[in-house]
Structure formats: C-alpha cells, structure tokens
Structure 1
Amino acid sequence: MKNLITKTVSLVMAVILIFASFTTFSSIEVQANESVSVHAESAIIVDAKTGKILYEKQSDLKLPPASMTKMMTEYLVLEAINNGDISWDTTTQISDYAYSISADSTFSGIGLKQDKDYTVRQLYEGMSIISDNATTIALAELIAGSEAEFVQMMNEKAKEMGLPEYKFVNSTGLANEDLGENYPEGTEANGYNLLSARSAALLAYHLINDYPEALDFSSTTRSELDNQPLQNLNWMLPEWDDNNFVQYGYKGVDGLKTGYTDEAGYCFTGTAKQGDRRLITVVMKTGSKGERFEETAKLMDYGFSQFTSEELFPKGYQIEEESTLPVTKGKESEVEIATNTSVQSMIKEGEKDLYQLRYEINEENLTGEGALEAPVEEGEKVGEAVLEYTGDANNDYIEGIGGEQRVDVVATNAVEKSNWFMLMLGAIGDFFGNVYHTVVDTVQGWFS
C-alpha cells in the first residue's frame, strides 16, 4: 500500500510539473508575441485615425531624415492647390539651380529639360514616386519664389503642426554642402534637415489626414516623365510584380516616403490600411535598403496583430450620476446630456475595460450656480467627453498635450424658457425664501 501511495504522489507531482512547465512556456510565448525588437536607431507606430502611439523606440531622437523631408514639401504643395494658389495644371520651367541638380548623376537626377513647361502634376509625381530632388526644388520655387522662402514656410508649418523636434534647411533632404553655392539663403552651408521619428510620424499623420490624395501618388508603382521611367522606391507596395521587390510586399501598404543619406542611413515612413485600421510607422537609421522594409514589416505586424479598433462607448453614452445638468429660467429644471458620437480607439487586446470617459463641461455656458440658462436647444454642445486610460502602459498621442480623444457632449432634449409670469413668481419665491432664511438665521443668532 505504501508503494502505491508513493507512486501515486510521484505521478501527481509529475503531472503538476508538466502543467507548470506548459503554463510557463505559454506565458513566455505570449510575452514574446506581444513585444517587438526593431533594428533601427529610432522607430514608432501610430494609429493614423486617432494619433495614438502604439509603440516607440527613441522616438524623440533627432536625426537627418533624408528624403523623408519631402513629406513637408508635399504637404505645402497640396495646401497651395487646396487654397487655389496653384492647380495640378499650373506650369513652370526649370531654373538653373534645379537643372544643375537634375543633371548630376550623384543625385539620381532624371535629367529635366530647361525652356520646357512642366505641370505641377508631373513635378509632383517625380517628387513623390521616385523622390526626385530637382522636381522638388522646382515646386518649392514655384510656390514661394525661392527655396529659401520655401524653407521658411516649411519651418512655420512645422511649428503650426506642433512637430516636437524639427529643423528644415532645404526642401529635398540633401545635405546643404551637397548643394554648393545654391544652399538656401539664411541656412548654414553645412546644415542638415533634422526630424525625430515622432515628428516624422506627426508630419505623415497631417499629410494623409489633411490631404489623402497624397496616397494616390505614393501608391503608384510606375510612371514616366520625359520618357524616363519613374519607379517607386517603396518596395513594400503589394502591387509590385518585380521579383526583386515582391518579397517585401505587405498587405495594405500605400505609402509613404523613403530616405537615404550617409548621415541618415536608410529611413522609411510607411503607412498601411487593413480593414478599418490604418497605421503609420517610422524607422530611422537602419542598415540597408531591404532592412528598412523588413523592420517596418515587424512594426506593422505588431500593430495589426496586437491592437484592434474597438467601439468603447456608443453614441448617446451617459456617465452615471452625471447624466443631467441643472437649468435656470426654464420650463424644466434640468436637461439630460450625452455623447453625440461613439468613441472608437485602437486598443491592445484585452484592455477594453481599462478605458473610461470624463466630462469637461464648458463653464462659459454656465451661470455662477453651475446651471445652463434656458432656452437650451436639443443637440446643443455643453462640453466634451475625454477618453481616459486606467492601465499601466504608456498611452500617449502623437500630438502630445491636448491630443487626447474627445467627443462632444450635447443636450439630448430642448428646454424652453419659462414665460414672464412664471419667472416673476420664481423671483418672488426666491426673494421670500431668502428673507425667511435671513430671519431664521437672525433669530437663531439671538439664542446662540
């Protein structure tokens, strides 16, 4: 009997050890799947809809962004078109400066011609698809009169966008010393453009949200200019049929901008859309052309596999015990309030319950007693609901302070203003009520 008990205990212990080992292994495997190791000096993943940062690695480190600089040039060109300053059919000719860059093989120039009219569309394709420098300079000169003036516009727009780390010294991303005597006036002869991964992501966020037509160009694999082929430098485009690039193709990729210089290494700002989710990724200072796409694929895999787009709160959501506001001078004494749209966000798997809403009522609309004054219109905005995360992970947004997700809080019904007679009765009641309380307080004071 003793041997039987011993054998039984040993068997049970073995089962427990096996189960514990399996559990530990499973835990390690899950943790491995939830992390990402990126071979880049700096990197970031951002939800393109909300600006929420899903992952970052030294994202505030300022580095030369090379041709990723051109995202700002693209933005200003599209803004000029949107404002009616130029159109896609506006034409311009190539200056001596732009021509010298185009004719230099070290800059991979496509050989633009002088004394020929080029449309904005042709030049934009050269800039966006193949990252041509001369077409970029020609567009900068068209919009601002000179590249120097255009650089001022770039830095002003960066400040307006709230880019945290930036410095623009030219429109292309080349080193100023490569431009020789043509470096833009007001910048250093040996100056570099500088961006952090966070700033590059924020610039891309503005570009594709303000002017989504930029993606029509960045997703074009091939075009031509002056009978010269324009072949996209983004090897992750899934439409590629070239055997040299097809290995890098990634579902949903449609942009955005590559970059390379000796100082910057190989950089890439990418974007991909799968279903209702779009990501923006940035890698800076990787080791090769292929590696920048391989590392970007890691970031996209992580973002799409570990995060889902969820409706956290429906339209018409009310915070318990804060579902009404008092109303003065109205036919009703209070009004119900609720969110006017649903709240959606890209969240990590299993964290849906770690989010809550907080009301910020617009105090300018309230009386000194904290009430709304009638009349109140149905749908009238009374404040905002701010999404808050209660977990332990970082929950920053690309736009920094003030970049939280917010939706309007509105009155769900109308409250009409009370008529003059009722207002008068109310005022009389308030008067005598105040007199009563004053008398009571005085009498109590006599006997205290």
Structure 2
Amino acid sequence: MKKIFNKGLLTALLAALTLTAIVPQQAQAEESLNIMAEAAILVDAESGKILYEKNAETPLGVASMTKMMTEYLLFEAIEEGRVTWDQEYQVTDYAYQISQDMRLSNVPFREDGVYTVKEMYEAMAIFSANAATIGIAETIAGTESEFVRLMNEKAEEMGLEETTFVNSTGLSNSSLMGMHPEETEETGENIMPARSVAKLTKILLDDYPEVLDTTKIPVMNFREGTVDETRMENWNSMLPGLIYEYEGVDGLKTGSTDFAGYSFAGTATRDDTRFITVVMGAVDNEGEGSYKARFEATRALFDFGFGQFTTEEIIPAGYQFEGQETLAVEKGVEEEVAIAVKEPVSMMIRTADKDMYQPELQLDDAVVQDGKLEAAVEKDLVVGTLQLTTADGTDYGYLSGSGTKVEVATTESVERANWASLAMRDAGGYLSSLWDDAGSFVKGLF
C-alpha cells in the first residue's frame, strides 16, 4: 500500500520546531518558574545582578521585612559607639502594651522589666518580636517617631526607591493601639517595591554580614532559665531542621500582615555563590496566601538560581576591540598606541547566554580628545571603559548602576618626540602635501 506524503503538514511541523528552537532558553526557563506572588526578584548577592524579576518596581506592603532596616540602624549605632549590646532598656508603656498582644509576634515584656539590646535584637531577628523592635527603636532614637525619621533618611541615602516607613516593625499602624508614631496616619503602612527590598538586603549583608550569625538560628529560648522563658522558633521555616528546610538558607526576614500578605526576603549560599530572593504577596494554586506559599515561591527562585546560573568569564583580560585596537598619538615618537581591557570581565549568567553579550568601548572624553591622545602617554593610562550590551534575550541589569566598570587602558608607553623629530615630521607632511598638489595639477593638464 502506497504511503501518502503530506508535504503541507511536514512544513508546518518543521516551522513549529524551528520556532521553538529559536525561543531564548532563558525566557523558557523564566516562564516555567510561574512564581505565584504579587512581586518577586532573584539577585546575585555579590554583584547585585538581577537574574529574574516580576513586578519588582511596584510599591507593596513590606510587613516585617521592615525589620531589616531596624537591624541595619542598630548595627550602625553599635559600630559608631552610640549603643552597646549589653546596654539596658527600661520598658515603656507603649512597648509593654504591644508585647501583651498575643495576636502579634512577641516575647512578653514585664511592665517594670529591663532588657538588654542583645536580648531584644535576638528576639527581633529570630522571632520577629514587635515590642522588642520598638524597644530597639526607642533605645537608638529616644522615640519610635524619631527612629522612623532616621529610617526614611537612611532609605533615601541607600537609594531605596518608592520606599516609605511609618513604623519600626512593619505592623499596620492600625495594630499599634493608637500609639503609632507621630506624623504618621493611623491607617499608615510601610511600603517598598521588591527591588528596593532586595537592595536593602544586599546592603545589610555587605555592611553587616554578622546579621546571619543570628538569622540562621532555627530555635532559641528568650530569657532561658527564668519564669519568662519563651521558645522562639524562627519564622524562616527554610532553615535547617525546620519544616521547609532548603540547603544553604541562612536568612533573612519574613513578613506577613493582612495588608501585605505573605512575604519573605531570603538568602542562601552554596560553594562560592550566594543569592538573594524576595517574594511579596505569595499565594497558592487556589489564590490563597500562606506561609507555605511564600516558601514554595522562594524555593522555586533558589532552584532557578542554583540550577541555571554560574559565574562565567565574558571578556578576557587584554581583550582588544575589533577595528579600534589603537588610538592615534599626537607629538609622540610613535603615531599610535595599543589599548586593551585591563581586567577580565566575569558575570553571573546562564552558560547558554554567554554569547548574548557584546562589548562596546566608551572612551573618556576628558582623556581622549577627537579620538587622539597627546604624548607623552604612560602605560596603563585609562582611556575609557568597557560596556556590555545585550544582543538578544532579557537582561534585567543591576540593583545599583550598571555593574562593575571595567577599565580600558594603554598597553605601552609612548614618549614625546623631540623638537627635531617634530620639525622633520611637519616638514615631511608639508612636502607630501606639495607633491600631492603638484600631482593633481599635472593630472589636470591631460
């Protein structure tokens, strides 16, 4: 029996296969993530390169991830000698009343109690204790109102865009029993985009990495051995030994309120690689927010990061730009000088995307004028920088700026020619010009 060859069907099939083949692999991987959250971001902690983001620039409720700013200001105050770990705090009526609200995350304070900064910090970092956070704010700034001013001032200094703090804890102001900070609304909420949360996380880790010594503790007892002993299980359930354990997780801060939903700023490390993740307003398949949903979304981001990305050398040291291997040199013993990239360029990327980036030379107009240098020229004179442009696919850039600037410099020195050489060169140029003019005149006679 003779088989019927359907040429049209085969053509359509080949076209479909070709289309599938040319879809960027990174785009396919990103689509398969299906992060179920209002916003999310994945960042290389070392460079700040953004590897994935979803709705990351939209301001959303930040909840207790706010406490990372409180932690930063505490470490800064200790570093500057304004506060010490063993400094004692006398509980105010405000902090006492908040500590008695068992609907909130808290360790109970005594009305006449005295607590050290170290105790309150551990309660805040591990158990997200809200009254302890207020105690830290009052210790540093006198009042929470003044502390909120410091928070917003620091946010501006850090370049945290679209960020507003109304209290030190991340609670809704409506949960503060009418004692919310002055000059804030009773309905006020702390607001940040996922990108700014990630940036705050990176700055905290860069400046005070010791924060991880505490945030990685799964369980600790507050005031152990006393009648006030309280078991503090870390709200970060991705830590070793906890229910959603994930290899390498050692921080950093969860957050949840009715306004913000379920959120988490996480960080994990394997070998020499550390990632930062942020999920905000995480939900499950039914569209319901939950603790599990935020950790499942975070797990998906970590799997994507550790499974797909490595640090690759994009440009080697000594790389020269095609067609612009040299710069002209005026008044030098040589008329040009070679230029090249000083250091190798490495980047956190998917290996398959290595050829996606193209190098471009950006000359420094203050050094190179009209495409020329003037002798004498020293070796390793920086003449510009290398910029990487994206040929295909998606590149999300960096949390700050455009990443590490790589210098382009001269590879050798060129001495200034003496007056006699310059005179001969000028004379030679003049004679050459006369000869060309004479040649042109003679050709014009025929």
TM-score normalised to structure 2 length: 0.82
1:296-311 counterparts in 2 under 5 A? Answer: 296-311=298-313
> CA 1:323/1:112 → structure 2, altered by over 3 Å: closer, same or farther?
farther
State whether structure 2 residue 379 is matched by structure 1 residue 362.
Answer: no
- 1:186 is aligned with what amino acid? E
**Does 2:295 match 1:293?**
yes
- Equivalent residues in 2 for 1:256-335, closer than 5 Å: 256-286=252-282, 287-328=289-330, 332-335=334-337
1:108 maps onto 2:105 in alignment: yes
Label 1:333 to 1:234 Cα distance change in 2 as closer, same or farther (>3 A). Answer: same
Q: Once the 2 structures are TM-superposed, how far is the Cα of residue 365 of structure 1 from its aligned partner?
A: 2.4
Output the amino acid matched with 2:420.
L
Which residue is equivalent to 2:420? 425
Letter in 1 for 2:384: G
Task: In structure 2, list runs of 5 or more residues that go unmatched.
Answer: 225-229, 283-288
Give the match's secondary structure for 1:41: strand
Question: Which segment drifts farther, 304-313 or 126-135?
Answer: 304-313
Q: Which amino acid is 1:177 matched to? A: S
Q: Quick check: 1:365–1:372 contact (8 Å CA) kept in 2?
A: no
| Paired residue secondary structure (1:73) | helix
Partner of 2:220: 223
Deviation at 1:362, TM superposition (A): 2.2
1:194 aligns with 2:191: yes
Partner of 2:396: 396
Identity %: 43
CA contact (8 A) 1:73 1:140 kept: yes
Identify the residue that residue 385 of structure 1 maps to in structure 2. Answer: 386
Closer/same/farther in 2, CA of residues 43 and 439 from structure 1, 3 Å limit: same
- Counterpart of 2:70 in structure 1 is 73
Question: Per-residue displacement from partner, 1:418-448 (whole Å, max 9, x unpaired)?
Answer: 4xxx443355457657877998999999999
Q: Distance in 2 between matches of 1:253 and 1:77?
A: 23
Query: What is the letter of the counterpart of residue 131 of structure 2?
Result: A
Where structure 1 has 5 or more consecutive residues not aligned to the other structure, the ranges are none
Counterparts in 2 of 1:215 and 1:371: CA distance versus 1, 3 Å: same
CA contact (8 A) 2:37 2:281 kept: yes
**Equivalent pair of 2:330/2:372 in contact (CA under 8 Å):** no
* Deviation of 1:333 (Å): 4.5
1:234 correspondence with 2:236:
yes
- Output the amino acid matched with 2:127: I
Distance 1:316 1:223, change over 3 A: farther
Q: Which residue of 1 aligns with 2:409?
A: 410
Q: Which moved more, 1:361-370 or 1:269-278?
A: 361-370
Q: In structure 2, do the counterparts of structure 1 residues 340 and 98 end up closer, same or farther at CA, with 3 Å as the change threshold?
A: farther
- The residue aligned with 1:343 is 345
Is the CA contact (8 Å cut-off) linking 2:39 and 2:56 kept in structure 1?
A: yes
**SS at 1:105's partner residue?**
coil
State the one-letter code of the partner of 2:231.
Answer: P
**Please, which of 246, 253, 256 is the counterpart of residue 250 of structure 1?**
246
Contact 1:276 1:309 in 2 (8 A): no
CA contact (8 A) 2:375 2:414 kept: no
State the AA in 1 paired with 2:386: A
The CA deviation at 1:367 is 4.5
* 1:169 corresponds to: 166
1:358-416 deviation digits (Å, cap 9, x = unpaired)? 2223222234663155352x44433321222211x32122436x334432333444x26
TM-superposed CA distance for 1:316, in Å, is: 3.0
Q: Distance in 2 between matches of 1:41 and 1:56?
A: 11
The 1-side partners of 2:398 and 2:408 are apart by 24
CA 266–334 in structure 1, closer or farther in 2 if over 3 Å, else same: same
Measure, in 1, the Cα distance between the counterparts of 2:208 and 2:389. Answer: 29
Q: 1:203 to 1:100 in 2, by over 3 A?
A: same
Which whole-Å CA distance do the structure 2 matches of 1:92 and 1:48 have between them?
Answer: 35
Classify 1:94/1:375 alpha carbon distance in 2 versus 1 (closer, same or farther; 3 Å). farther
Supply the AA of the counterpart residue of 1:250. Answer: Y
**Aligned 8 A contact 2:134 2:169 in 1:** yes
Instruction: Please state whether the residue corresponding to 1:315 is helix, strand or coil.
Output: coil
Q: Does structure 1 conserve the Cα–Cα contact (< 8 Å) formed by 2:138 and 2:144? A: yes
State the one-letter code of the partner of 2:262. Answer: Y
Deviations 1:157-192 (A, max 9, x none): 222322232111111101112223421122222211
Which secondary structure state, in structure 1, belongs to the residue aligned with residue 60 of structure 2? Answer: coil
Shift of 1:327: 4.1
Separation in structure 2 between the aligned mates of residue 251 and residue 205 of structure 1, nearest angstrom: 20
Tell me how far apart the structure 2 counterparts of residues 445 and 379 of structure 1 sit (CA, whole Å). 44
Please give the secondary structure, in 2, of the residue aligned with 1:173: coil
Q: What is the letter of the counterpart of residue 310 of structure 2?
A: T
- Cα distance in structure 2, aligned partners of 1:93 and 1:332: 76
SS at match of 1:279: strand
2:181 maps to what in 1?
184
The answer on 1:36 being equivalent to 2:33 is: yes
1:175-217 residue CA offsets vs partner (Å, 9 max, x unmatched) = 1122234211222222111112222122212222232222222
Q: Distance in 1 between matches of 2:183 and 2:435?
A: 77
| Structure 2 residue 50 is the aligned partner of structure 1 residue 53 | yes
The residue identity in structure 2 corresponding to 1:266 is Y
Partner of 1:159: 156
Aligned pairs, how many? Answer: 424
C-alpha distance in 2 between matches for 1:332 and 1:440:
24
Note if contact 1:281-1:299 (Cα within 8 Å) is conserved in structure 2: yes
**Contact 1:112-1:226 within 8 A present in 2 as well:** no
- Tell me the amino acid that sits aligned with residue 192 of structure 1: E
Work out whether residues 40 and 295 of structure 1, in 8 Å CA contact, stay in contact via their aligned partners in 2.
yes
Q: Normalising to structure 1: TM-score of the pair?
A: 0.82
Contact 1:176 1:192 (C-alpha < 8 Å) held by counterparts: yes
Q: How many angstroms apart in 2 are the aligned matches of 1:333 and 1:81? A: 58
User: How much does 1:49 deviate?
Assistant: 2.4
